[in-house]
Amino acid sequence: MDMIGKVRRLHSRKNKSEREISRITGLSRNTVAKWLHGEVDGPPKYRRGAQRNKLTAFHEALQQALKADARRAVDAVQNGISSPAGCTRRASDSSHCSSRS
């Protein structure tokens, strides 16, 4: 917002032209013109449009699977199932749990 204010001050108070402002600030003339004549409500932001990717077709199925998995996790906690195969140590120390039969 600082640069936009500076551009507007140079134009309104010091009566500088768009070309002079671009020379002083190092901004392009198109940017200066946009900031002076357009509605600018804040600093410029990068806006990426919605893009399709490989998983877009499976979005709904993935959402349902994640919800189902979350419900299973809640059920496991409520039923007192703390870990697989009766292992009582943390997941980081799970190497000993897989060796049990």
Tens digits of residue pLDDT in 5-43: 899 899 999 999 999 999 999 999 999 998 898 877 777
8 located within any domain = yes
- In single-letter form, the type of residue at position 34 comes to K
21 located within any domain = yes
Q: Is 48 helix (H, G, I), strand (E, B) or coil?
A: coil
29 located within any domain = yes
Distance CA 2, CA 25 (A): 12
Higher pLDDT, 47 or 85: 47
Determine whether 70 is exposed, middle or buried from the number of CB atoms within 10 Å of its CB (0-12, 13-18, 19+). exposed
Predicted TM-score (pTM) of the model is 0.42
Whether the Cβ atoms of residue 2 and residue 42 lie closer than 8 Å to each other: no
Q: How many domains does the chain have?
A: 1
17 located within any domain = yes
| Domain, as residue range, for 11 | 2-37
90 located within any domain = no
